Amino acid sequence: MPELQRLRRDHAAALLAFERENRAYFAQTIPDRGDDYFTGFDARHAELLAAQEAGLDHFHLIVDSDGEVLGRVNLVAVTGGTAELGYRIAERATRQGLATSAVRQICVLAATAYGLTALRAETTLDNAGSRAVLTRAGFVPTGEEVVLSGRPGLAYVRDLSDVREAAARETAAP
């Protein structure tokens, strides 16, 4: 069963393999990271860990029982009790409910472990899968139209008060 894990230093090799294996697939719907991302991966990984340690961002991997990375779920630009959600799932792991499950889990972590009150997300109008994941995880369109890589999109928000309340009820239950 895949597990959501907070990004660690020892994830570097598996994460790099995930990004390389899925580069062309991801580029179909989101901007390509560029060659510099891959050649400077070790330095970038260290920067992510430093930002995470400082509480500026929270990075997570979806890892299978063999240690292979199946996806990423990140909370970036943490400020004022909110953060921007981003995620990507390996091509071979799509259409299995993995993204929805991971986004729901990150909502719980955001509200309980990180003390956030809301999450923001954006996706293009032509990315029906991502729009469905956000909706199933409780995100609602803000009505704000955005442009992502030259393509029209929508902004979403997820109020986390219901998540905090559910966690408080679970903690208080006998």
Residue 140 Cα distances to 18, 47, 50, 114, angstroms:
30, 32, 31, 21
What does the DSSP 8-state code read for residue 114?
Answer: S
Report pLDDT for 172. Answer: 76
Residue 25 has pLDDT above 80, yes or no: yes
Contact of 8 with 77, CB cutoff 8 Å:
no
Strands 58-63 and 69-79: antiparallel
Average pLDDT, whole number, for the chain?
A: 93
Segment among 5-14, 52-61, 115-124, 165-174 with least mean pLDDT: 165-174
Residue at 140: amino acid letter: V
> Does the predicted TM-score (pTM) go above 0.95?
no
**SS3 of residue 146 by DSSP:** strand
Residue type, 94: T
Q: What is the mean pLDDT of residues 21-30?
A: 89
